[in-house]
Structures are given as C-alpha cells and as structure tokens.
C-alpha cells in the first residue's frame, strides 16, 4: 500500500490531512505489512511539518516495513535542504535516512557550511525525559536573545517547556520540539509534537465530559490532569494565559486524537474532525512585531 504525502506539510490543516492518511493505513493493514511512504511530491515543509513527519515515521516504522520515496519534484533541493538544516536526518528512523542517502548525493547537504542561526533557529530535537526540558528552554532563550523584551523571551521558553513536559507526561513517548524565528515576517513558529496516545486517551477517565472535544477543551482551559497529587495540570493554562497575555496576535493550534482545534483566550474551537491517529501536535505562531 502507498501512503502518499501532500505537496505541503505547512499548516495545521495540512498535518490534519496527513494524519488522517496515516490513520487509514492503521485501520487497513496488519502489523508487519509493507507500505511505501511516498514523499515524492513534497514541496514545502514547515517546522510543524518536520516535527509531525518525524513522529509519524517513527510510529509507522514501529508497526510496518517501510519503503521511502524521497522528494523528486524539482523543488527537492530546497525541501531536502531545509529538512537537513532542521536536523531531520539526525533523528528520523535509520531506514528513512538510508533511503535518502541511497537516492540522493546527501553529502552535498551534510557537508555544506551552515550559516550561524543560533539567533533564529532551534533545530528538531528528541526529548524523552523531564530533565531535558531545562536545556531546551535555555536554548530557546539564547535563540530569542535581543529580539524581544526579556519577559517575552521567558514566556516563549515557558511555552516550549510546558508543552514538551505535557507531551512527555501524557503521550508516553519522546517529544520533538523545534522553534523558528522569521525576521522578515516578524513571527515565531513553535512546534511540539509526539506520537503517544494523545490528550483524549490520557485524560478522558479523569474529567466529566459529554464528548471527546470537551476533554480537549478541559485539558487546555482548566487544571484537569491525569496526574493525581501533582500540580502538573496547570501547564496548558499557563501557556494559554502567557501567549495571549502579551502578544497582540497569537495563533495557538492543537491536533490530537481525531481533530484539529484553534485555541482562543476563552474557548477551544473545533476546526476539523477526522480519524484517530497517535500523538498530540501543538503549533503556536506568535507575532513579535
């Protein structure tokens, strides 16, 4: 069976559709069957797209035999170059890296001189334990230094730390964060993704609800937590309050269980329903103009 990528993995809508396609594979095929992940038409990938693609490839690799078709559409130089710059090939499943190595002269990407982007880029990392979050936050503070007021830099670091901790706690897997500052657009994009069981399966036994969307809403807007006798449930509240507290324009999205949402100051708005697939995918765009 072929799992075909979209031509763009950029927005919350793109990754929602991609996760629906992954869900179809899981519903259709048994363990250990062979699938081809066809990335040949992939033309654009954002920080969110990189993080989500990493997560889904790890999950698919744990269940199936994978074959990878790499980007080959005339824009492959740009998209592969960006994936390499984001350190995608350092943390993707080894067979995925091997597929790229076999079909392209990847040495031209691996050996190129990189411009110093410590002031604007936090490449994809794999975080498995709470102890790794502190170094993640320190790196984010360094990236954002001299770009924003110090309190706003702390807010961004806190956002990344809280969401990464939430993914580790509720997802039960590693999480994959990345951050990029776009000076010409005056915005910061933050992606934190995992391939665990997701907010709904983690929390629905701990909060009253009439539907699964209420579980997600309570996870974000209240102090609901699956961790008893520990004050970890306030993480997403703090993220939401800080994000909207200082930024004139902030977009906060979540894709978890089978749906994509946009988070507003006092509500969680359903964008699209689809099919269940593993993981929670956080995406925050902050206007820093």
Task: Quick: pLDDT tens for 253-278.
Answer: 999 999 999 988 788 999 999 999 99
The domain 2-109 is placed in CATH, from the list 3.30.2310, 3.30.750, 3.40.50, 1.20.120, at 3.30.750
Query: Cα 200 vs. chain centroid, distance in angstroms?
Result: 17
Helix/strand/coil for 159: helix
Confidence of residue 75 (pLDDT cuts 50, 70, 90): confident
Beta bridge partners, 260, equal 255, 272
pLDDT at 229: 46
Other Cβ atoms within 10 Å of 118 Cβ, number: 10
pLDDT at 141 over 80: yes
pTM confidence score:
0.91
Tell me the three state secondary structure of residue 112: coil
Helix H or strand E segment including 144? helix 131-144
Distance CA 254, CA 94 (A): 28
What whole-number distance in Å separates Cα of residue 198 and Cα of residue 213? 13
Q: What is the mean pLDDT of the chain?
A: 87
Domain ranges of the chain: 2-109, 121-287
Unique residue bearing structure tokens 């010409």: 184
As a whole number of angstroms, the distance between CA 72 and CA 95 comes to 18
CATH topology of domain 121-287: Heat Shock Protein 90 (3.30.565)
Tokens in use for 197? 């069981």
Nearest to 171 by CA among 58, 263, 75: 58
Q: Return the axis-axis angle of helices 131-144 and 150-166, rounded to nearest 10°.
A: 150
Give the integer Cα–Cα distance in Å for 128 and 168.
7
pLDDT-derived band at 103 (thresholds 50, 70, 90) equals very high
For residue 99, give both structure tokens: 């597929």
Q: Do the domains 121-287 and 2-109 match in fold?
A: no
- What gap in Å lies between CA 217 and CA 265, rounded to an integer? 12
Contact predicate 143/118, CB 8 Å: yes
pLDDT at residue 244 in the model: 65
């Amino acid at each position: 069976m072929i799992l075909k990528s979209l031509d763009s993995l950029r927005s919350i809508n793109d990754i929602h559709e991609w996760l629906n396609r992954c869900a179809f594979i899981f519903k259709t095929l048994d363990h250990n069957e062979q699938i081809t992940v066809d990335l040949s038409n992939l033309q654009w990938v954002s920080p969110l797209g990189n993080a989500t693609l990493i997560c889904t490839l790890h999950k698919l690799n744990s269940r199936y035999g994978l074959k990878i078709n790499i980007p080959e559409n005339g824009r492959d130089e740009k998209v592969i170059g960006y994936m390499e710059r984001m350190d995608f090939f350092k943390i993707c499943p080894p067979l995925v890296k091997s597929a790229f190595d076999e079909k392209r002269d990847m040495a031209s990407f691996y050996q190129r001189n990189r411009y110093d982007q410590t002031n604007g880029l936090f490449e994809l990392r794999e975080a498995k334990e709470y102890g790794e979050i502190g170094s993640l936050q320190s790196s984010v503070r360094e990236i954002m230094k001299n770009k924003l007021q110090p309190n706003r830099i702390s807010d961004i670091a806190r956002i990344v730390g809280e969401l990464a901790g939430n993914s580790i706690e509720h997802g039960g897997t590693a999480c994959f964060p990345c951050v990029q500052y776009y000076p010409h657009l005056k915005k910061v994009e933050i992606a934190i993704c995992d391939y665990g069981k997701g907010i709904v399966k983690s929390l629905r036994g701990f909060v009253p609800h009439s539907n699964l969307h209420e579980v997600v809403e309570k996870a974000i807007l209240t102090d609901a937590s699956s961790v008893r006798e520990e004050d970890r449930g306030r993480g997403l509240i703090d993220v939401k309050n800080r994000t909207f507290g200082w930024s004139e324009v902030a977009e906060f999205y979540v894709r978890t269980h089978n749906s994509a949402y946009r988070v507003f100051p006092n509500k969680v708005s359903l964008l699209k329903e689809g099919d269940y697939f593993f993981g929670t995918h956080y995406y925050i765009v902050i206007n820093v103009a």
